[in-house]
Amino acid sequence: MKVLVSDNLSPVGVKVLEEAGLDVDVRTGLAPEELQEIIGQYQGLVIRSSTKVTKELLAAAKNLKVVGRAGIGLDNVDIPAASAEGVVVMNAPDGNAVTTAEHAISMMLALARNIPQATASMKAGKWEKKKFMGREVTGKTLGIIGIGRIGSIAASRAQGLKMKTIAYDPHMPPDTAERNGVELVSLEELAKRSDFITVHVPKTKETANLVSHEFFRNMKSDAMFIDCARGGVCDEQALYHALNDRLIGGAALDVFANEPTSHDNCPLLGLDNFICTPHLGASTSEAQENVALIIAEQIADFLLHGTVTNAINVPSVSSEVLAQVGPYLTLGEMLGTMQMQLSQGGVKEVNVEYSGELADVNTSPVTVAFLKGLFTPILKDAVNYVNAPVVARDRGIRVVESKSDRAGDFTNTLTARVVSEEGENILVGTVFGKNEPRLVRLNSFRLEALPSGPMLLVFNKDVPGVIGALGTTLGDNGVNISRMTVGREETSNQNIILLSTDQLISKELLEKVRALKHIDAAQGLNLNGF
């Protein structure tokens, strides 16, 4: 079997593939049309961030079985298209966690002691000792936005420097954070209390421009901001104004909304209280060897033995189990993704119940699929079919699976109850025909809906005119409705309306919907990929 390495990969990865008996070609820097011309020869493709695995490339890859990303991020891979073509997509989510956290700490120390500025001054022939007065980090407070795998490592390193650690993470139970010596606080409180702030969240709809003008206005005037996570989490224009107007003491970025970046598209580069690196968070020899080794072993195991590890789009199950529960894997992941977006506060407990004929088959892969879906909105590519149960365990989430041979109105049902800090939500789903997943209950509301793509969930009073007003408001704002389902609560005069739309609902439009007469609540949902 042949494997193409199309991006720079540590030689240890190539060696692992070759020693496994695979025929390896290393051809980096190929133009998209060149790659598309030759991809049909290969069963495996190893990439980093440069190669774009598009729908067109996958269509030309007639023999391709697996794509392996040496690292975490999969923004450059069309995962739905890969799934449609039967191509397994793998990554190495934990291979560079330590080095990214260490880079954030390095940036913090460089900021605190003005190291880049002092270096540039000396190289210019100056000796400006008084100009670059620094500050200690001992006893200071580090605020961490996102206390997952990388954020937790950053916290432990900061604690080793005798710093106090606080964090904002609405999806992390407080007791789990406290076990790691971290106090959970609101985003506003974090901004006000921290001397240094570091970001460790993926870019999602929820986190885009999370760090905004308001955030910087709440920071201390001498506080410093670090982002080694993802470009777009920080509003760079807001950061520029905060630095230029001396609202904060300094900032360091390793990631940018547009990469590669330059003076032409990033005015931050002209500020003397700003330091930066060109996305070096994962760029250590140890990390690159680690992710290369991990992905090479995973691809070799898959191509030679059929073993699936760290797959984003395929669970690690036998063909026999897949034949029994295949459609419910998609349903489970759908319900999980929807549950996290409905949940308020950190998730504490997950109960998954299988009823009807499902009670007699191995449903553990469906539970894993549900957990993967649950964490995807907040962790994105860092969660997959292998590590989802580990993520749940590390976050202190109790997972309970139960079975019943009674399914009520349907042959089989999957009931998912998620308990969070603020309450609980219950979703019930089933599969129509051979492969048609449906949501048939949301809490006490009965309905029949396909949870996929951008959606709008509305709670309203059961009176005439609501649907018309809602449709007019969406239409006036350029949003098309592709599907609509109405669910009624039998014991009250309240309805829910679940709409599928052609685009994600903006925050501004959501406020307009909430302001409509007889609408009690409204929430945008993102189930893209289903």
Which of 114, 105, 98 lies closest to 158, judged by CA?
105
Tokens of 331: 């349903």
Active site includes 490? no
Among residues 214, 259, 422, 511, which one is catalytic? 259
3 state SS for 199-243: ECCCCCCCCCCCECHHHHHHCCCCCEEEECCCCCCECHHHHHHHH
Task: Please name the residue that has the structure tokens 């996290």.
Answer: 340
Coil/strand/helix, residue 269 = helix
Among residues 69, 157, 200, 230, which one is catalytic? 230
- Strand 453-461 relative to strand 445-449, pairing: unpaired
DSSP for 142-200, written as a single string: EEEE--SHHHHHHHHHHHHTT-EEEEE-TTS-HHHHHHTT-EE--HHHHHHH-SEEEE-
Active site includes 488? no
Report yes or no: 342 and 455 within 8 Å, Cβ to Cβ.
no
Among residues 157, 279, 438, 441, which one is catalytic? 279
- Strand 66-69 relative to strand 88-90, pairing: parallel
Residue 275 one-letter amino acid: I
Nearby residues of 427 by Cβ (< 8 Å), 6 or more positions away: 335, 338, 339, 342, 415, 416, 439, 441, 442
Active site includes 230? yes
Rounded distance between C-alpha atoms, residue 2 and residue 357, angstroms: 42
Nearby residues of 311 by Cβ (< 8 Å), 6 or more positions away: 88, 89, 90, 384, 385, 386
Nearby residues of 105 by Cβ (< 8 Å), 6 or more positions away: 154, 157, 158, 161
Rounded distance between C-alpha atoms, residue 183 and residue 144, angstroms: 10
Residue 413 one-letter amino acid: T
Which of 458, 453, 460 lies closest to 480, judged by CA?
453
Q: Which residues are catalytic?
A: 230, 259, 279
